[in-house]
Amino acid sequence: MRTIGEQGNEKVALITGAGIGIGRGIAKVLAQKGYRLALTYHSSEDDIREVEEDISHIYGKAPLIIQSDLTVRGEAESVVKQTMEEFGRIDLLVNNAGIGNHAILTEMEEDAMDMAIQLDYRAPMLLSKYVVREMIANKIPGNVIFITSSRGERAYPKDSVYGGMKAALIRSAQSLALEWAPYGIRVNCVAPGATVNRLDQNAEQEPLGRKIPLGRIGTPSDIGEAIAWLSSDAASYITGINLRIDGGLILPGMPEDTSPEAGYGWGTVYAE
């Protein structure tokens, strides 16, 4: 299936952090839907080259691969510039790159906090700024997607910074949806819950899956398919939402069983 923009050109998606996990899955789904791809990675060159080879082999069109440290000033603008030079347009931005920061605040190093804030919030905001400038200039009614998290809606211990940044993206997306609606540009968030990240993981076999209402944890393709739909004409009346893709994980509350066989838990055992 070919995905064609209004000018008759194939649509282009820029996906950050596309070498592993959710980013890899998003890239493969959007390639299958007909998008030309620009993919960023930071350090996992072997992984991104495997994604590049796979997409090139299956769909016959190599993605643009961009190595970038998005915490560095000027990198977001450079990534957008390189994508525009290669394809001449951007129809979809998927702000996927991020870093976990799971620590008690009183024990968190300042450098670790700065890294999380820069990569999990500042970078996607700047990428959105520069991508949308190009969309407006080229009269493209595009889409901006922020990958957030179920942690942006429900509090967990050791999650004040990572969860806080995801919550901030959800709130920022709402304002951006209002700012860019007059240009036909939609802004939404997709919030994965527990999702397989490594190739040796099986969504049906992970212990946490037994505690999720739908009986398994998520897969990268679950996230990719949601993004493909949310960015399509079928969802043209949707903007400013946070679409949770978590199998119902947080509906009944946080899994509190700390036993190893439960596969997950946060509860504290207090000494008598």
For residues 78 and 68, is the Cβ–Cβ distance under 8 A? yes
130 among known catalytic residues:
no
Active-site residue (options: 35, 121, 130, 162): 162
| CA-closest candidate to residue 220, choices 255, 195, 187, 244 | 195
Q: How many residues belong to the chain?
A: 272
Q: Where would I find the H helices in the chain?
A: 21-32, 45-59, 75-87, 110-117, 123-137, 162-180, 220-230
Give Rg (Cα) of the chain.
Answer: 19
Distance CA(210)–CA(192), nearest Å, equals 17
Distance CA(83)–CA(15), nearest Å, equals 11
Pull the structure tokens for residue 37: 């791809």
Which active-site residues does the annotation give?
162
